Structure 1
Amino acid sequence: MLARRTLARAVAQPSPLGAAAPTNARNMATLREIELRLKSVRNIEKITKSMKMIASTKLAKAQRAMQAGKDYGLANAEVFAHTPSDKPTPNKLFIVISSDKGLCGGIHSSVTKATRRALNNAVDSPIAALGEQVDPESPIMVIGDKSKAQLMRTYADSLRLTFNQIGRDIPTFADAAGVADLIVKSGVKYDSVVIVYNKFVSAISYESAAVEVKGEEGLRESNGFKTYENEDDLTKDLAEFSLANAIFAALTESHACEQSSRRNAMDNASKNANEMMATLQMQYNRGRQAAITNELVDIITGASAL
Structure 2
Amino acid sequence: MLARSAVRPVLMAARPVVGIQQKNGMATLKEIEQRLKSVKNIEKITKSMKVVASTKLTRAERAMKQAKKYGAANEELFKNSEIGSDNGDAKVLYVAISSDRGLCGGIHSSVTKATLKALNANPEARVAVLGDKPKAQLARSRTDDFVITFNQIGRDIPTFAEAAAIADEIKTKGGEWDVVKIIYNKYISAISYEPTELVVTNAKSLNEAAGFKAYEQEEDSTGDIAEFSLANALYLALVEGHAAEQSARRTAMDNGQSHAADMIGKLNLQFNRARQGKITGELIEIITVSSRPASFIRHGYSVLVDKIETGRD
Give TM-score scaled by structure 2 length: 0.85
Separation in 2 of the partners of 1:28 and 1:207?
A: 51
Give the corresponding residue for 1:107. 107
Measure how far apart 1:84 and its partner are.
1.5
2:107 aligned partner, one-letter code:
I
Separation in 1 of the partners of 2:86 and 2:114?
A: 22
1:177 aligned partner, one-letter code:
A
Task: Work out whether residues 96 and 129 of structure 2, in 8 Å CA contact, stay in contact via their aligned partners in 1.
Answer: yes
Measure how far apart 1:83 and its partner are.
1.0
Measure how far apart 1:295 and its partner are.
0.3
Alignment partner of 1:198 is 2:196? no
Separation in 1 of the partners of 2:219 and 2:140?
A: 40
Measure how far apart 1:93 and its partner are.
0.6
Task: Work out whether residues 111 and 183 of structure 2, in 8 Å CA contact, stay in contact via their aligned partners in 1.
Answer: yes
Measure how far apart 1:225 and its partner are.
1.5
Task: Work out whether residues 87 and 221 of structure 1, in 8 Å CA contact, stay in contact via their aligned partners in 2.
Answer: no
Q: CA RMSD in A?
A: 1.5
SS state of the match for residue 193, structure 2?
A: strand
Task: Work out whether residues 154 and 242 of structure 2, in 8 Å CA contact, stay in contact via their aligned partners in 1.
Answer: yes
Measure how far apart 1:187 and its partner are.
4.6
Separation in 2 of the partners of 1:291 and 1:301?
A: 15
Measure how far apart 1:137 and its partner are.
3.1
Measure how far apart 1:166 and its partner are.
2.4
Separation in 1 of the partners of 2:66 and 2:228?
A: 16
Give the corresponding residue for 2:236. 249
Separation in 1 of the partners of 2:156 and 2:81?
A: 34
Separation in 2 of the partners of 1:264 and 1:192?
A: 35
SS state of the match for residue 140, structure 2?
A: helix
Q: Which runs of at least 4 in structure 1 moved beyond 4 Å after TM superposition?
A: none
Unaligned segments of structure 2, at least 5 residues:
1-15, 295-313
Sequence identity percentage: 56
Task: Map 1:50-61 onto structure 2 (within 5 A).
Answer: 50-61=48-59
Choose the corresponding residue for 2:41, options 33, 40, 43: 43
Measure how far apart 1:271 and its partner are.
0.3
Choose the corresponding residue for 1:294, options 281, 287, 304: 281
1:88 aligned partner, one-letter code:
D
1:217 aligned partner, one-letter code:
K
**Count of residues in Structure 1 that have an aligned counterpart in Structure 2:** 275
Deviations 1:48-90 (A, max 9, x none): 0000000000000000001111110001100000112336352
Deviates more, 1:51-60 or 1:22-31: 22-31
Task: Work out whether residues 21 and 281 of structure 2, in 8 Å CA contact, stay in contact via their aligned partners in 1.
Answer: no
Give the corresponding residue for 2:117. 117
Separation in 1 of the partners of 2:227 and 2:191?
A: 34
Separation in 2 of the partners of 1:271 and 1:86?
A: 51
Give the corresponding residue for 1:268. 255
Deviations 1:157-211 (A, max 9, x none): 0101111112311110011000001011115221011000111111111111111
SS state of the match for residue 153, structure 1?
A: coil
Choose the corresponding residue for 1:26, options 18, 24, 42: 24
Separation in 2 of the partners of 1:299 and 1:235?
A: 94
Give the corresponding residue for 1:79. 77
Task: Map 1:117-266 onto structure 2 (within 5 A).
Answer: 117-121=117-121, 135-266=122-253
Deviations 1:250-280 (A, max 9, x none): 1110000000000000000000000011111
Task: Work out whether residues 87 and 218 of structure 1, in 8 Å CA contact, stay in contact via their aligned partners in 2.
Answer: no
Deviations 1:103-129 (A, max 9, x none): 0011100011111122223xxxxxxxx
Separation in 2 of the partners of 1:253 and 1:286?
A: 50
Measure how far apart 1:22 and its partner are.
1.1
2:92 aligned partner, one-letter code:
K
- Structure whose alpha-carbon radius of gyration is higher: 2
2:164 aligned partner, one-letter code:
A
SS state of the match for residue 165, structure 1?
A: coil
Deviates more, 1:233-242 or 1:35-44: 233-242
1:154 aligned partner, one-letter code:
S
Measure how far apart 1:287 and its partner are.
0.4
Separation in 2 of the partners of 1:169 and 1:30?
A: 45
Larger helix share, 1 or 2: 2
Separation in 2 of the partners of 1:108 and 1:48?
A: 20
Give the corresponding residue for 1:96. 96
Task: Work out whether residues 186 and 240 of structure 2, in 8 Å CA contact, stay in contact via their aligned partners in 1.
Answer: yes
Choose the corresponding residue for 1:65, options 60, 63, 66: 63
